[in-house]
Chains A and B, each alone.
Chain A
Amino acid sequence: DQQVKQNSPSLSVQEGRISILNCDYTNSMFDYFLWYKKYPAEGPTFLISISSIKDKNEDGRFTVFLNKSAKHLSLHIVPSQPGDSAVYFCAANPQTGANNLFFGTGTRLTVIP
């Protein structure tokens, strides 16, 4: 049972435009959320995170929004650049026990020059 869902397997965006990647979760115990970026043949690398006590976190071109009531978060990339082309994973952390991350299935972003 997938507790973190990314329903869009792929997304294509023109360079300079906004990319919006979405993520939904089902477990109300999740209280910390992360986005990871993954290039082919490499491990995931941390991009940005948000705590459940916030609804927005910004880091340069990347902004993550959290809607707790809807159990939904999104990653906005503005402006999108060709180097942003990668697979993006949403992950959630219940902050208990192993504190391991529960990952979504990923969204492949392609930024077209």
Chain B
Amino acid sequence: NAGVTQTPKFQVLKTGQSMTLQCAQDMNHNSMYWYRQDPGMGLRLIYYSASEGTTDKGEVPNGYNVSRLNKREFSLRLESAAPSQTSVYFCASVWRTMWNEQFFGPGTRLTVL
């Protein structure tokens, strides 16, 4: 039981490049989330998926897109990376949105030059 996994662990991009961050969970959770963590800011919600087939914007969605590929997988795409997107990205999942305890992946550290 791997819990929540994220790939890649590290990535360096040049401004304007695109990439997709992958997230998968094997806990049969219905809801999945993408957060970013910046120094002095805590974790902020980018997008979430309450259930398979649905996605919604969070607090800081600009510059990102998401896909809930199936119940297990939730990807985050940067179409044209900007230096302001340099951050650590965490994926999380929970059984249902009305449950509180979210389980987090190990994170992806992204640097945009």
A binding-site residues for B, Cβ under 8 Å: 2, 4, 32, 34, 36, 41-46, 49, 89, 93, 95, 98-101, 103-106
Chain B residues with CB under 8 Å of A100's CB are 33, 45, 48, 58
List 13 interface pairs A-B (beta carbons < 8 Å), by A numbering.
A2-B42, A4-B42, A34-B101, A43-B107, A44-B90, A44-B104, A98-B50, A99-B99, A101-B45, A101-B100, A103-B35, A105-B40, A106-B42
Check: B8 CB closer than 8 A to any chain A CB: no
Chain A residues with CB under 8 Å of B45's CB are 98, 100-101
A36 to B42, CA, bound (A): 12
B94-105 near A? 1/0 per residue, CB < 8 Å: 100111111111
Check: B4 CB closer than 8 A to any chain A CB: yes
Chain B residues with CB under 8 Å of A46's CB are 101-103
**Nearest chain-A residue to B57 (Cβ)?**
A98
Check: B44 CB closer than 8 A to any chain A CB: yes
Chain B residues with CB under 8 Å of A89's CB are 42-43
In the complex, are the beta carbons of B100 and A34 less than 8 A apart? yes
- CB of B13, distance to nearest CB on chain A (Å): 20
Check: B2 CB closer than 8 A to any chain A CB: no
- B33, B42, B90, B99 — which one has the most chain A CB atoms within 10 A of its CB? B42
A49 to B44, CA, bound (A): 19
User: Does more than half of chain A's interface fall in helix, strand or loop, or is it mixed?
Assistant: loop
Chain B residues with CB under 8 Å of A98's CB are 33, 45, 48, 50, 56, 58, 97
Q: A98-B45, A98-B58, A100-B58 are in contact. Are A49 and B101 (CB under 8 A)?
A: yes
A105 to B98, CA, bound (A): 24
User: Which of A34, A43, A95 makes the CB contact (< 8 A) with B90?
Assistant: A43
Q: A98-B97, A99-B98 are in contact. Are A45 and B104 (CB under 8 A)?
A: yes
